[in-house]
Chain A
Amino acid sequence: GAGVSQSPSNKVTEKGKDVELRCDPISGHTALYWYRQSLGQGLEFLIYFQGNSAPDKSGLPSDRFSAERTGGSVSTLTIQRTQQEDSAVYLCASSLGTESPLHFGNGTRLTVT
C-alpha cells in the first residue's frame, strides 16, 4: 500500500518568504510527527498529533513555525518569514498508535537563500 507521502520533495525559497510543507500519512494512522534533520545532525522533534487530542507543539523552535492536521489525515507544516537557519530536511512520520513503529516519508529538503 501507499506509504507516507511528502510534498514538495525539494523547495528553494528566498529569506523572508512563507513556505508550506505537506504530509499525507498512511491511511488509518492516528499519530503523525514532524521532525527536522539538519546536515550531520539527528532528528529534531517539532510537533506531534495523536487522534483528536491537542497536538504536542513543544518542539517548534519559534512562533514562525506552525502545523495543522485536517480531518485527522493530511498535515501541513508552515514556516513564516523563513530564515537561512531553517534550511534542513523536514520529515513526516505516521504510526498506528503511540506504541507502533513510525513510518517515514522521504522528506522535503528546504533551502532558504
Chain B
Amino acid sequence: GDSVTQMEGPVTLSEEAFLTINCTYTATGYPSLFWYVQYPGEGLQLLLKATKADDKGSNKGFEATYRKETTSFHLEKGSVQVSDSAVYFCALRDSNYQLIWGAGTKLIIKP
C-alpha cells in the first residue's frame, strides 16, 4: 500500500541555519503531497501542498518540490527561526482521498 517515510528526529539546528527535512513516498497513481506542522500546544495545520509533479509548495519561507522521479517531497527553509520549532508531518492523499502520514519529525531551533 501507499506509504510515507520521513527522516527521524529530533533535528536540532541553530537559528539562521538551513533546514532540510527529507520525505519520500510510495504510491500508485499521482497523489497530492502535503506538509503539516504542529506547534507546541496547538493542533496540526497545513503548511504547504503540491498536487502534481514539479509543483512547488511554499509558505512562511518553507518550500517543497514534488519530485516524481525520486518520489520525494523534501521540506526546506533557508534560515530557520526559534519560532519554527515544531513537529513536521509529511503526508500524501491517496486515490481514496485518505491521507497517509509520515511519523513526524521534531525540529528544535536553538537561539
Q: Which residues of A contact B (CB under 8 A)?
A: 3-4, 33, 40-43, 45, 48, 50, 56, 91, 93, 98-99, 101-107
Give every chain A residue within 8 A of B93 (Cβ-Cβ). 99
What are 18 residue pairs bridging A and B, where the CB atoms are less than 8 Å apart in the complex? A33-B99, A40-B103, A42-B4, A42-B101, A42-B103, A42-B104, A43-B89, A45-B99, A56-B98, A91-B43, A91-B44, A98-B97, A101-B49, A102-B36, A102-B46, A106-B41, A106-B42, A106-B43
B43 interface neighbour in A3, A42, A56, A99, Cβ under 8 Å: A3
Q: Is the interface of A mostly helix, strand, loop or mixed?
A: loop
Q: 5 other contacts beyond A43-B101, A45-B99, A102-B46, with CB at 8 A cut-off?
A: A50-B97, A102-B44, A106-B42, A106-B43, A107-B43
A105 to B4 CA separation, bound complex (whole angstroms): 23
Q: Which 7 A-B pairs have the closest CB atoms?
A: A98-B97, A104-B44, A42-B103, A104-B43, A43-B101, A42-B101, A101-B46
Give every chain B residue within 8 A of A48 (Cβ-Cβ). 98
Give every chain A residue within 8 A of B99 (Cβ-Cβ). 33, 43, 45, 102
Is B45 on the interface with A (CB-CB < 8 A)?
Answer: yes
Give every chain B residue within 8 A of A98 (Cβ-Cβ). 97
Q: Is the CB of B103 within 8 A of A99?
A: no
A103 to B89 CA separation, bound complex (whole angstroms): 14
The smallest C-beta distance from A52 to any residue of chain B, in angstroms, reads 16
B45 interface neighbour in A33, A50, A104, A107, Cβ under 8 Å: A104
Interface residues of B in 4-58 (CB under 8 A from A): 4, 32, 34, 36, 41-46, 49
The smallest C-beta distance from A36 to any residue of chain B, in angstroms, reads 11
Give every chain B residue within 8 A of A40 (Cβ-Cβ). 103
A56 to B49 CA separation, bound complex (whole angstroms): 24
Q: Is the CB of A42 within 8 A of B102?
A: yes
Of all chain A residues, the one with the shortest Cβ separation from B97 is: A98
Of all chain A residues, the one with the shortest Cβ separation from B44 is: A104
A4 to B104 CA separation, bound complex (whole angstroms): 21
A103 to B36 CA separation, bound complex (whole angstroms): 10
The smallest C-beta distance from A32 to any residue of chain B, in angstroms, reads 13
